[in-house]
Structure 1
């Protein structure tokens, strides 16, 4: 039982159960694509949560990292004819360079100043995508082949979803290990107070750059998996709307929470599909973006800790009441 209490084992078992479930259920190909998108944005949100939730650094230009990962992976596999796993690794490593650049700019910036600077950074990178035709194809867009791993072609169905889940589980375990390490404690100290962290001897410069690098790496990985799912992209995809959606995923799901990142990403990803099923709402332009903004406002106002913590409190009350009921039953039986 102690083994099952380990969060890392829980991540693995949850991933296995999810994959088995979606393979048993008779799902449409569009449903598999939607679920895979949830997993992809969960990876991106998880990386963004490392930055915002664990270190308190806000970024409104994170879509640039996801876009760069997508383009790098497409270039490596389509133009250089290298294996998909090489493209996946390159898509994670190359954005780290941009992450370090943004991290260096963030050393003297905090709060809304950092948000504005990162927004400008994201806009600049998006415009670069439009003119860097050798890598991105410019306005024409960029295509990518299907993912092939060890000679097996992964189609956009249960196979690709299973692969995306495996990557997500590995990255969840990595974040969990960071959170429970010296680096994680340094992140939290920085988030609570930069000056107090410096007074305790924490190298703020070092850990800010680490946080931006990890976040950029996760975003690049998400971009690569996305690219080989849809097999086409163009610069307009990687704009401010996606960055705001990432912010919404983390805020709605829960700051500094692995489960919150997944819940928030699933909520934001599924919302447009849900809205399409509601009469009257589907005819409103940008209705999904409007509801995302409203959701962020409502969560900040009423449940600033995020949905995951509300679920945790409800779960705690249920088990607590259940425990009291068991104690009462045992005492009654002993009296009888």
Structure 2
């Protein structure tokens, strides 16, 4: 039993089962269930983004484009070709993954703020394509998605959709954990810490940067597909720089190079607007949720650089102290 408690895949599965059962056992309002679904969906995207940023050290300011592409693809495929939802879900991840490979090729020549600017331009270009490609996206009128069905069972209720989203999230968490615990994960960390040192050790920048961009795009596409079938509608303005910055905030606030941190960061970003909305004296301030997010981002970077996922261990080290011969581990999932 003690060994199982130290087994992260086992703990992820148990946590997923417990979370999935909550709405089935406790009656919740529809708005609350929508928020819980969004937390799971954004957690999926944040995990993929953390593979890129937290583990590989590659910045992207256009990642919302991959999520939007997954949303439009899923709505288009299920609406025009009447393919099963699970097929459209898979295609909505695979097609952005191919585009992520292309973006990875660009990343081979760029780094730092140059890469950030390039990915920002990519995101703006894709968003503009959403606006202009009316045959595919229906332009500013937006695209509607069908009710998802699995083996003939329609997921009309938010509670049922939540169970599906949690199952997919747990599966993707297990895949990410196993991948990042392998040689690939160690190679990505080596690239993040020093590309020149990684090359000297025989790590292929070409191979692993492509893997990081492709996987992050795949996760974003899956998240986009789930999003559009939850909300049943999407339009181009949803997939702009604001969302990309929120994805960045999720990873940094939750914890770089941390799978649980990605989930915590997603919960924080989704919950903050709902929390602020109920504070009467803040309601007249425009974009107050973004202000809170920005403040949280600055505070985390300044005082808790390992994010919410490791805030407990950092506070423990601060107040109890750490033996002089030990150092905090860097780049290890927490």
TM-score after normalising by structure 1: 0.92
The CA distance in 1 between the partners of 2:115 and 2:72, in whole Å, is 26
Query: What CA deviation, in whole Å up to 9, does each residue of 1:246-305 have, x standing for no partner?
Result: 000000000000000000000001111000011121221111112111111111111111
Query: CA separation of 1:235/1:209 partners in 2, compared to 1, >3 Å: closer, same or farther?
Result: same
Matched, 1:148 2:149: yes
Residues 58 and 114 in structure 1, CA contact (< 8 A), matched pair in contact too: yes
Alignment of 1:145-184 (within 5 A): 145-184=146-185
Distance 2:176 2:148 in 1: 25
**C-alpha contact (below 8 Å) 1:46/1:261 kept by paired residues:** yes
Match of 1:60 in 2: 61
Between the aligned partners of 2:317 and 2:171, the Cα distance in structure 1 is 27
Unaligned runs of 5+ in 2: 322-334
Q: Deviations over 1:207-257 (max 9, x none)?
A: 000000000000000000000000001000000000000000000000000
CA RMSD of aligned residues (A): 1.6
Looking at structure 1, the residues matched to 296 and 320 of structure 2 have their Cα atoms a distance apart, in angstroms, of 29
Q: Aligned-pair distance for 1:319?
A: 12
CA distance in structure 1 between the partners assigned to 2:101 and 2:19 by the alignment = 35
Residue equivalent to 1:293: 294
The aligned runs of 1:169-318 (5 Å cut-off) are 169-313=170-314
Q: Is the 8 A contact 1:251 1:296 kept in 2?
A: yes
Q: Give the whole-Å Cα distance in 2 for the aligned partners of 1:312 and 1:254.
A: 13
Equivalent in the alignment of 1:95:
96
* In 2, Cα distance between equivalents of 1:283 and 1:125: 33
Instruction: Give the CA deviation at 1:312.
Output: 3.8
* Deviates most, 128-137 or 55-64: 128-137
Distance 2:178 2:122 in 1: 30
Alignment check: 8 A CA contact 2:304 2:314 kept: no
Judged with a 3 Å threshold, the aligned counterparts in structure 2 of structure 1 residues 39 and 318 are, in CA distance, closer, same or farther, namely: farther
Tell me the CA shift for residue 316 of structure 1.
8.6
Question: Is 1:86 equivalent to 2:56 in the alignment?
Answer: no
* Higher-Rg member (1/2): 1
Which residue is 2:50 aligned to?
A: 49
Change (3 A) 1:282 1:313: same
1:24 deviation in Å? Answer: 1.2
How far the C-alpha of 1:318 sits from its partner, in A, is: 11
1:315 deviates by 7.4
Q: Contact between 1:33 and 1:156, CA under 8 Å: does it hold in 2?
A: no
Local SS of the residue matching 1:272? helix
Deviation string for 1:117-172 (max 9, x for gaps)? 11011000000111111211111110001110000001242110010000110011
DSSP 3-state at the match of 2:78:
helix
Do the aligned residues in 2 keep the contact of 1:3 with 1:9 (CA within 8 Å)?
A: yes
Shift of 1:311: 2.6
Q: Structure 2 CA distance, aligned partners of 1:21 and 1:317?
A: 35
Question: Number of aligned pairs?
Answer: 320
2-side partners of 1:159 and 1:287: how far apart? Answer: 32
* d(CA) in 2 for partners of 1:119, 1:31: 32
In structure 1, runs of 5+ residues without a counterpart are 321-336
Residue deviations 1:71-90, cap 9 Å, x none?
A: 00001101111110011001
Cα separation, 1, equivalents of 2:21 and 2:143: 33
Q: Secondary structure at the match of 1:3?
A: helix
Native 8 Å contact 1:32 1:156 kept in 2: no
